[in-house]
Amino acid sequence: MPNVRLTLPDGTVREFPQGVTALEVARALSPRLAAEGLAARVDGRLVDLTEPIETDASVQIITPSSPEGLEIYRHSSAHLLAAAVLELFPDAHPGVGPPTETGFFYDFYREKPFTEDDLAKLEAKMQDLVAADLPYERVYFPKEEGLKIFEQKGEFLKCQLIQEKAEPVFSAYRTGKFLDFCRGPHIPSTGRVKAFKLLSVAGAHWKGDERSYPLQRIYGTAFFSKKDLDAFLAKLEEAKKRDHRRLGKELDLFSIQDEAGAGLIFWHPKGGIVRKEIEDWLRAELVARGYDLVYTPHAMRLHLWEISGHTNFYRENMFGPMEVENDHYQLKPMNCPGHILIYKSRPRSYRELPLRLAELGTVYRYERSGVMHGLLRVRGFTQDDAHIFSMPEQVEHEVEECIEFAFQVLKTFGFDQYEVELSARDPKNSEQYAGTVEEWELAEGALKKTLERMKIPFKTMPGEAVFYGPKIDLKLVDAIGRPWQLTTVQFDFNLPRRFGLEYVGSDGRGHTPVMVHRALLGSIERFFGVLIEHYAGAFPVWLAPVQARMLPVSEKHLEYARRIAGELRAAKLRVDVDDRNEKLNARIRDAQLQKIPFMLVVGDREAQSNTVSVRRRDSGDAGAKAVSDFGAWMRELIDSRATKW
């Protein structure tokens, strides 16, 4: 039998008999590699360890430490789940079951819904299958023949997939009694699955099409070790504890009320303080950066939205128009037309450009009833919006400034990780965009060049652009690693033309300006939600609704506590006094649960020496401090917007 020459990752070349499997290669290299191997990469192609290698090739063994390892492992876990489902629930029809970023899922069509109890039973069955150490056996079928087998099993979803996607001879994987149409690769056997958990069951639709079959999706996750799984589950718990909806209630920050309607936010006094601090900082920053602050009406004549193109391209996100004196008015879903009207209110000279109009503009968008989510997805929200009108040659610089501003925002609010996406048009779907192909190419090129010049890594997302132009989106990553889309910088060559905007150039002639839409926090509501989760409700001093709470040891010290609170308030600090008739311990506990940064315990000792005993939220008793020293310290923490102290 002839030999094949296999190139290993370290560059060495070794000869093996033709038809050797990657598993055999691994064994030849080291028993440990063979034991750990999950799959193999042969000439760039991911294959099973048991696949024969017939020609010279480069071979790499995929192990748990390879980036692809976990994905393959989870895909195999999904098959394991499906195998368990078919054993326990023969009436379930399997759909698809891919790995995801955090685990895997498998979709089934079934009349009866799966319950939480079913998940426990399925986990037990999966354990049995793991114990049985069944191989993931790759088998091949000619298309017609294979199709018949799946038809006999009544797996109509699989049949549909095979008809649409299968090669003339297609591969499938057998795990015990379960046979799945699948490209692979898979791990060698079920015994290799070490740590998994089924997490939830939720609805889904066949191929994501809501008119198609309703399916039940079972979510699970799998890791190489129990330790990793436990760490993941702990992270889920942590996320639950940080949930802004829960903290919003516990800390009395905001509410959403049935009586008022879904997706509409009530900012309570404590949330209101946080919002005001954010807005004050932002406004000062806007002014410093050459923006002009404006205000525009919440409802305007529908006619404007026809000009802007919103009634064509955005109607399904708009509340219905209201009739006023034989005319129609529209609650604004965006702030752009208002700012455009300000621009248009008089002739503009090139000397005033770029004109940066900023507004904390409240907009209303119709969201389908199932999509609202706390502060993160609502129907009424305030954008920290701005529209920059500039000459074409200024626009790249303006985009750069916006991104630089966005980075400053991230830093100020304690975020240090981010991801950047460039959203371009979908070239196959040009009718959903306003403007010509040339204009789009120009705009996308300009955004791309700007990011490259700033040396910012980014991903290009085709088909993600808005109807009037391409955009750069910035996602921040919060304290527990979740990304949130907030900042958006959008290029617009469309609206200026639709509204007939002009400026007089140095040549004395009229020209059309270019417009940049940008929001940095995105929406104040969403940003607030993200902030709550990022800080787990424990805001830095400058944002904390109550910055310090006086805790008089007994009623005797109430007067002193009130006097000091008054002094600190005069120094513009947010201080309150817990004058309830409760044990000190109980009041400390409450302040702690309210995540107030500083507790000031005052009793005889403090009253005599004009001091306060400082208890820090995160590290407990910090000893006595002169009142004036404490005030100065607080001032510094606030003015520097310190996130740690």
Partner RNA sequence: GCUGGCGUAGCUCAGCUGGUAGAGCAUCUGAUUUGUAAUCAGAGGGUCGGGGGUUCGAAUCCCUUCGCCAGCUCCA
Q: Which residues between 374 and 393 bind RNA (CB under 7 A)?
A: 374, 376-379, 381, 383
Taking alpha carbons only, the member of 553, 558, 539, 564 closest to residue 626 is 564
Report the candidate in 111, 109, 107, 86 with the shortest Cα–Cα distance to residue 96: 107
Number of helices (H), then strands (E), in the chain: 20, 34
113 binds RNA (CB under 7 A): yes
**Distance in angstroms (rounded) separating the CA atoms of residues 440 and 224:** 46
Q: How far is the CB of 615 from RNA (least distance, A)?
A: 3
Taking CB under 7 A as the rule, does residue 365 contact RNA?
yes
Q: Which residues of 236-258 are buried (b: 16+ CB within 10 A; e: fewer)?
A: eeeeeebbbbebbeebebbebee
CA–CA separation, 139 vs 644, rounded Å?
59
Does the protein bind RNA through residue 58 (CB under 7 A)? no
Among 225, 554, 609, 628, binds RNA (CB under 7 A): 554
Distance CA 578, CA 548 (A): 11
Task: Identify which of residues 61 and 568 has a Cβ nearer to RNA in the complex.
Answer: 568
Considering only the stretches 159-167, 414-422, 507-515, 516-524, report the one whose residues sit in contact with RNA under the rule CB under 7 A: 516-524
Distances (CA, A) of 164 to 150, 173, 216: 14, 18, 22
> Tokens 């900042």 — which residue?
487
Total number of residues binding RNA (CB under 7 A)? 72
The contact mask relative to RNA for 608-637 (x = CB under 7 A, - = no) is: -----x-x----xx----------------
Among 123, 367, 400, 502, binds RNA (CB under 7 A): 367
Stretch that binds RNA, among 127-135, 297-305, 372-380, 452-460 (CB under 7 A): 372-380
In angstroms, the CA 104 to CA 75 distance is 7
Residue 462 C-beta: closest distance to RNA, Å: 13
Residue among 217, 310, 332, 339 that touches RNA (CB under 7 A): 217
The answer to whether the CB of 6 falls within 8 A of the CB of 25 is yes
For RNA, the closer CB: 455 or 583: 583
In 3D space, the residue among 530, 566, 537 whose CA is nearest the CA of residue 550 turns out to be 566
Where does this chain touch RNA (CB under 7 A) — which range of 117-125, 167-175, 579-587, 629-637?
579-587
Query: Judged by CB under 7 A, which stretch of 17-25, 67-75, 346-354, 515-523 contacts RNA?
Result: 515-523
Which of 72, 92, 198, 466 touches RNA by CB under 7 A?
466
- Does residue 370 belong to the site contacting RNA (CB under 7 A)? yes
Q: Is 548 near RNA (CB under 7 A)?
A: no
Tell me if 52 contacts RNA by CB under 7 A. no
Q: Which tokens sit at 146?
A: 């294979």
User: Does 556 interact with RNA (rule: CB under 7 A)?
Assistant: yes
DSSP for 6-70, please give it.
Answer: EE-TTS-EEEEETTEEHHHHHHHH-HHHHHH--EEEETTEEE-TTSEE-S-EEEEEE-TTSHHHH
Site string for RNA, 422-461 (x = CB under 7 A): ----------------------------------------
Q: Which of 165, 589, 609, 626 lies at the binding interface for RNA (CB under 7 A)? A: 589
Beta-bridge partners for 39 = 62
Q: Does 368 bind RNA (CB under 7 A)?
A: yes
- Least distance from C-beta 42 to RNA, angstroms? 32
Within residues 231-260, the interface with RNA by CB under 7 A covers 245, 249, 256, 258
Q: What is the dihedral of CA 362, 366, 371, 374, to 10 degrees?
A: 30
Among 105, 118, 34, 35, CA closest to 74: 105
Residues 272-311 that bind RNA (CB under 7 A): none
Q: Report the residue number, 152 or 581, with the smaller CB distance to RNA.
A: 581
State yes or no: residue 462 binds RNA (CB under 7 A): no
Q: Angle at the Cα of 625 (from 621 to 629), degrees rounded to 5?
A: 130
Q: Does 540 bind RNA (CB under 7 A)?
A: no
Mark residue 184 as left, alpha or beta (left: phi above 0; alpha: psi -120 to 50; beta: remaining): left
On the 0-12 / 13-18 / 19+ scale of CB atoms within 10 A, 300 is middle
From the CB of 444, what's the least distance to RNA, in Å? 16
Distance, in Å, from the CA atom of 292 to the CA atom of 40, rounded to the nearest integer, reads: 59
Q: Residue 200, interface with RNA (CB under 7 A)?
A: yes
Per CB under 7 A, does 604 bind RNA? yes
Give catalytic residue positions: 336, 365, 383, 385, 387, 471, 517
The answer to whether 522 contacts RNA (rule: CB under 7 A) is: yes
